[in-house]
């Protein structure tokens, strides 16, 4: 249950991040707003992954959560396209090519989230071992 709660938080972050990115790109502050939104969402997702180390298993943090976050990204992209920015889905049609492109996007997103999870896990372990050494 905690895994799905973390994934839902990640979904909301990505949903509002995509919408905010597109909205910022349509304004005069787009050159500053877009990178700021990307960094804000990236840091927020990193915090969700970091929090996962305390409440779910290692496999859940490194495999299942990145997988759910990748699926969340694809769903969030489509929701934003359907509700507010229809230009996102101009190539949408029920076809094998579109499905394959979705799998590619989800695969790339999974790899990015999994690599981020592994790097954050290594950072956490380094911090924990550093703290253990200095406490003794």
Q: Is 112 helix (H, G, I), strand (E, B) or coil?
A: helix
**Whole-Å CA distances, 41 to 45, 83, 101, 118, 132:** 6, 20, 23, 18, 32
Residue 68 to residue 133: CA distance in whole angstroms: 35
- The pLDDT of residue 136 is 62
Model pTM score: 0.89
Question: Structural domain boundaries of the chain?
Answer: 2-135
Answer yes or no: are the C-beta atoms of 9 and 50 closer than 8 Å.
no
- The pLDDT of residue 66 is 97
- The pLDDT of residue 114 is 97
Q: Can you say whether residue 45 is alpha, beta or left, with left for phi > 0 and alpha for psi between -120 and 50 degrees?
A: alpha
- The pLDDT of residue 46 is 97
**Whole-Å CA distances, 120 to 30, 46, 72, 127, 134:** 30, 8, 20, 10, 21
- The pLDDT of residue 113 is 97
Along the chain (136 residues), what's the average pLDDT of each consecutive run of 10 residues? 96 96 89 93 97 94 96 95 83 81 95 97 92 73
């Amino acid at each position: 249950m905690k895994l799905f709660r973390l994934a839902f938080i990640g979904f909301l972050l990505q949903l509002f991040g995509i919408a905010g990115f597109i909205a910022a790109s349509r304004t005069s502050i787009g050159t500053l707003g877009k990178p700021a939104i990307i960094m804000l969402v990236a840091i927020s997702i990193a915090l969700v992954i970091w929090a996962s180390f305390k409440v779910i298993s290692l496999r859940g943090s490194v495999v299942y959560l990145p997988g759910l976050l990748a699926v969340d990204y694809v769903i969030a992209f489509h929701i934003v396209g359907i509700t507010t920015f229809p230009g996102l889905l101009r190539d949408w049609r029920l076809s094998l090519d579109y499905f394959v492109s979705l799998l590619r996007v989800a695969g790339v997103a999974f790899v990015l989230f999994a690599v981020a999870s592994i790097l954050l896990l290594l950072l956490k372990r380094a911090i924990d071992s550093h703290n253990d050494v200095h406490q003794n």
